[in-house]
Amino acid sequence: MNKPILTIVVPCYNEEAVLKETISQLIMVVNDLIEEALVSKNSKLLFVDDGSKDQTWNLIEAECDKNRMVTGLKLAGNVGHQNALIAGLETANNYSDCVISIDADLQDDIHVIKTFLEKYWEGSDIVYGVRESRETDTFFKRNTALFFYRFMERIGMKLIPNHADFRLMSKRALEELLKYKETNLFLRGLVPLVGFSSTKVYYDRKERLAGESKYPLKKMLAFAFDGMTSFSVAPIRFVTFLGFLSVVISALVGGYAIVQELLGHTESGWTSLVISIWFVGGLQLMGIGIIGEYIGKIYREVKQRPRYAIEVDRFSTLVKEKQEELVFK
């Protein structure tokens, strides 16, 4: 069996604080894999700049000029983590025998990449990187994540608990994934639908070396909600929020009305009328908002807009140059 060409895809957004260290460590990992004959010497690192506003792309270009193992893809604007990741996967697909995706913050343990490749050699088409524990998370984040995975399982969605986007995919598995053309991307839900043989590799997640998390609480909650509905539309989501707010207000007003009833300061029937109007109105707004989420999903899909636009593609340029060298030889 020929040694597979590996491409490690790394989506980046405003990662200048950590990028140099990330590139350095990943280069060492790939060099070790080459020395151990687990991958081809033509293996690459592909950094996808998702419309960063700092020096991220300049750092990527500088490394591309210094080291032919490092390549870059600059998107024309910020399209979000999932779209940036799929852009990198699509670009790497034709050149690679297997692809590994990993975030740029180095919180995922890069040393288990070797284990990924060993599982690939054993015949696994998909290797999931799964967190051993969530002890480094806050109490709130740990328990909300547990609730999320249990809820998704209850509604019949196949997810790998404690798995994000740190995974290996073989060429045939990746080609099947790329057949899913929906605009509303939730890769953690799509990859398990691909099928093929898969396995898990457990690891301990580290603290971020530098920079700030690109997934604060607000984004994590939004991402989880998108996973449940496959997508969301902000204005309609705001209507949903109004529905929840109405229910809360109705409870408060209902409590006040009950107190007034006990004190004898109300007219007969006023209490039940106020509570029912506020509560039912809140439920109606919630229902409209949830239905709107799915209508928004359909609306986004039928427009069939491209998921991203590429401004600079250093990866394909390098591959073309390599192919031309082989022809001339």
- 10 confidence band (pLDDT: 50, 70, 90): very high
> Residues 186-205: what's their mean pLDDT?
83
Looking at per-residue confidence, does 325 or 118 come out higher?
Answer: 118
| Lowest-pLDDT range of 63-67, 240-244, 254-258, 260-264 | 260-264
Mean pLDDT (the chain) is 78
230: helix, coil or strand?
coil
| Lowest-pLDDT range of 113-122, 196-205, 234-243 | 234-243
Chain segment 55-103, per-residue pLDDT in tens: 899 999 888 888 888 998 999 888 888 889 898 998 988 888 899 999 8
pLDDT exceeds cutoff 60 at 235? no
Specify the pLDDT at position 79. Answer: 86
Specify the pLDDT at position 323. Answer: 56
Q: What angle do CA 228, 230, 236 make, to 5 degrees?
A: 85
Which residues are within 8 A (CB) of 312 and not within 5 positions of it... i.e. 6 or more apart?
57, 72, 73, 74
Specify the pLDDT at position 2. Answer: 79
Specify the pLDDT at position 126. Answer: 92
Question: Taking a C-beta distance cutoff of 8 angstroms, is the pair 208, 105 a contact?
Answer: yes
| Lowest-pLDDT range of 3-17, 109-123, 295-309 | 295-309
Beta bridge partners of 10: 47
Instruction: Name the residue type at position 55.
Output: Q
Specify the pLDDT at position 223. Answer: 59
Chain segment 135-190, per-residue pLDDT in tens: 656 666 666 667 666 666 666 667 777 787 889 999 999 999 888 887 777 777 78
| Domain-wise residue ranges, the chain | 6-218+306-328, 234-303
- 263 confidence band (pLDDT: 50, 70, 90): low
Token pair for 320: 């073309």
231: helix, coil or strand?
coil
Question: Taking a C-beta distance cutoff of 8 angstroms, is the pair 254, 274 a contact?
Answer: yes
Question: Taking a C-beta distance cutoff of 8 angstroms, is the pair 75, 310 a contact?
Answer: yes
pLDDT exceeds cutoff 60 at 214? no
Q: How many residues does the chain have?
A: 329
> Residues 22-41: what's their mean pLDDT?
90
CA-CA distance, 270 to 230, in Å (whole number)? 42
> Residues 225-231: what's their mean pLDDT?
55
Question: Taking a C-beta distance cutoff of 8 angstroms, is the pair 47, 12 a contact?
Answer: yes
CA-CA distance, 274 to 278, in Å (whole number)? 6
Four-CA torsion 106, 111, 112, 117, nearest 10 degrees: 110
Q: How many other C-beta atoms lie within 10 A of the C-beta of residue 198?
A: 19
CA-CA distance, 294 to 229, in Å (whole number)? 7
Question: Taking a C-beta distance cutoff of 8 angstroms, is the pair 98, 169 a contact?
Answer: yes
CA-CA distance, 297 to 36, in Å (whole number)? 46
Helix 314-328 × helix 81-93 angle, to 10°: 10
Supply the Cα-derived Rg of the chain in whole angstroms. 24
pLDDT exceeds cutoff 70 at 264? no
Looking at per-residue confidence, does 1 or 295 come out higher?
Answer: 295
Q: Which fold has domain 6-218+306-328?
A: Spore Coat Polysaccharide Biosynthesis Protein SpsA; Chain A (3.90.550)
> Residues 209-237: what's their mean pLDDT?
56
According to the per-residue pLDDT averaged within each range, which of 82-86, 226-230, 241-245, 300-304 is highest? 82-86
CA-CA distance, 67 to 74, in Å (whole number)? 18
CA-CA distance, 39 to 5, in Å (whole number)? 6
